[in-house]
Homo-oligomer: A and B are copies of this chain.
């Protein structure tokens, strides 16, 4: 499918990410319809010129007409939606998503989906601390990665369309990983860091600490303000990969603890030099 202004695009779920997609695609000249829970979100999006129209119930005409459907829902809601409404899809429709974990979900959906409809999974790596369409912003896609996670069930054409979508949304990089590679990467870079931030906030409940906080501590715990409904679901969907990264982190942390306890200064310094050197790889280009 070649995306053009006549492509009928439907976004299901107008939250912070769905809203960002709507903004970006409308700016590109597409006509965006949306189905979402709350009337006020549709009103807001209409007033902002982000969408062409919206419904708070599953409008059969919307679904039957759609060439490309983008699901921006929590994982379990996404699966439930498909179970209930996939009979409405136009034959040959392409569906994609924005979910933060892939292996279990992609396998489950490709298994249950009608054979005449294709699901190509993608993860826009542009998080926001706040949720809801009022905080949506297509500017966060600039400088960020859009990751397509195809399986052997995907066609080259669908992969191509999904990559094109990433560029149209304004991402600075579009790449492909297998669902398993994606989940290992996300377990380390995103889920482990959220686990650390949460732990830092709950491990020490001294009331007076906030008074002495500097920017380093604030930086490490910015993501400790967390959407518990979404993240608990994502952690459990990626349990094995996350536990593996947590264990690797703990083993290395324990190694540093032993160096400190035993006064092994040279070993500590070597670890710090390695850290300093490796961190340079992660500087913003």
**Contact: B216 with A269, CB < 8 Å?**
no
Which residues in B have their C-beta under 8 angstroms from that of A185? Answer: 206, 208-209, 212
Give the nearest-CB partner of A144 in chain B. B214
Q: Does A236 contact B (CB under 8 A)?
A: yes
Knowing A190-B217, A243-B257, the reply to whether A199 touches B249 (Cβ < 8 A) is: yes
Q: Does A253 contact B (CB under 8 A)?
A: yes
Of A5-13, A17-25, A60-68, A277-285, the one touching chain B: A277-285
Q: List the number of copies, as a whole number.
A: 2
**Contact: B260 with A239, CB < 8 Å?**
yes
Which residues in B have their C-beta under 8 angstroms from that of A210? Answer: 281-282
Interface string of A242-254 (1 = CB under 8 A from B): 1101111111111
Give the nearest-CB partner of A276 in chain B. B225
* Alpha-carbon separation in the docked complex, A127 to B216 (Å): 9
* Alpha-carbon separation in the docked complex, A247 to B253 (Å): 10
The 21 sampled A-B contact pairs (Cβ below 8 Å) are: A127-B214, A145-B211, A185-B212, A189-B212, A190-B216, A190-B217, A195-B256, A196-B200, A198-B271, A199-B253, A200-B249, A201-B274, A204-B245, A210-B282, A217-B282, A218-B282, A220-B223, A228-B269, A246-B260, A250-B253, A250-B254
